Amino acid sequence: MRTPLQITFHGMDTSPALEALVRDKIAKLEQFHPNVTGCRVVIDKPHHHKQQGEHFIVAIDVAVPGNNVVANHAHHEDVNVALRDAFTAARRQLDELRMRSDPKQRRAAHAAGEAGEPGGQAGAE
């Protein structure tokens, strides 16, 4: 990654354990998509709401050449689950971006989808 990873905590104290978890997840994301040029992660714990309980909101902004991927809809009571969901969404968006930019991968994914479709003709008697 060309730009240093930025991890920001809002409404809560900085957590070395969470920072380590984020760094681990970013390393896995970089293995999946080696052209990541920068990443910003915001872990937010909004004010306590009596009726809804406490929730964590995780927003991830991943920069790749020519695009930015933003995953910011991960809300959960457990910060680890919110992180997992946000990184899963970011990885899915990076995968879609890669599929759009690489026709060979798009054809391979399309062929794999056709081969695995239920209701095919084989053994349909």
Task: Tell which residue, 60, 58, 51, 61, has the closest CA to residue 81.
Answer: 58
d(CA 3, CA 7): 12
Least confident of 30-34, 39-43, 69-73: 69-73
Confidence of residue 123 (pLDDT cuts 50, 70, 90): very low
Mean pLDDT, range 99-116, rounded to an integer: 58
The pLDDT value recorded for residue 40 is 93
For the whole model, what pTM was predicted? 0.72
Confidence of residue 3 (pLDDT cuts 50, 70, 90): confident
Least confident of 37-46, 98-107, 116-125: 116-125
Domains and CATH numbers, the chain: 6-112 (3.30.160.100)
d(CA 53, CA 78): 11
On the question of pLDDT at 4 being above 70, the answer is yes
On the question of pLDDT at 24 being above 60, the answer is yes
On the question of pLDDT at 72 being above 80, the answer is no
Mean pLDDT, range 5-24, rounded to an integer: 92
